[in-house]
Amino acid sequence: MSSTPATVEIPLFPLGTVLFPDGVLPLKLFEARYLDMAARCMRAGSPFGVCLIREGGEVGQPAEPHEVGCIARIVDWDMNQPGLLFITTRGGERFRIVEREIRPDRLQMAHITPLPEPPVTGVPEPLLDLLPLLEAIVADTGEKMFPPPHRFDDATWVGYRLAEALPIPPLARQRLLELDDTVSRLEIIHQYLQQHQLLG
């Protein structure tokens, strides 16, 4: 008898952007469903899930999300005017939606299974010219968007940070998030940068 992976229930926040593991995503919340969600998450120290929107919009009717998303944990918040909450989130594990439901307040809840990451490995030698570019981006952008530790010796971390920084459409970012193979992700990014003459 095959065993089914354990699922966890979390609230979903479908967005027009992609969050990657260890990434930083600032959000401005003003809809009641998300203000309530954030309050509950902060009280319980629990996360929510960020998914790219497949169909629909960020506000109003519940949007249909892509199946693969990323756990978001609130690390900072500020409410300097009533009804408007600014939060900073940090990306956790990737996950896949198993099933979802829409609550009466239009908040989406989902049963998810976490997606495992490969063991930590260094950037393969043919792709090492990605590192000076990422180091320059991190130095130029600063620690607010790229908080330490900076793991330039971890191919998965390097791939996620470059995927965040590339000037590519959200759907292309989503495809990079969904990839389980770290080296394939780096090879695709490397090819893109070469084609656009962005590598030194």
Residue 60 has a pLDDT of 85
- Reading the chain (200 residues) residue by residue, the pLDDT tens digits are 444 557 899 999 999 999 999 999 999 999 999 999 999 999 999 999 999 999 999 888 889 999 999 999 999 999 988 889 999 999 999 999 999 999 999 999 999 999 999 999 999 999 999 999 999 999 999 999 999 999 999 999 999 999 999 999 999 999 999 999 999 999 999 999 999 988 86
Question: 196 near 166, Cβ under 8 Å?
Answer: no
Closest to 12 measured CA to CA, from 116, 99, 117: 99
d(CA 182, CA 20): 13
d(CA 83, CA 32): 8
Long-range CB pairs of 30-37 (<8 Å, 24+ gap) are: 30/83, 30/84, 30/85, 31/59, 32/105, 33/103, 33/105, 33/106, 33/107, 34/107, 35/83, 35/85, 36/105, 36/107, 37/11, 37/13, 37/107
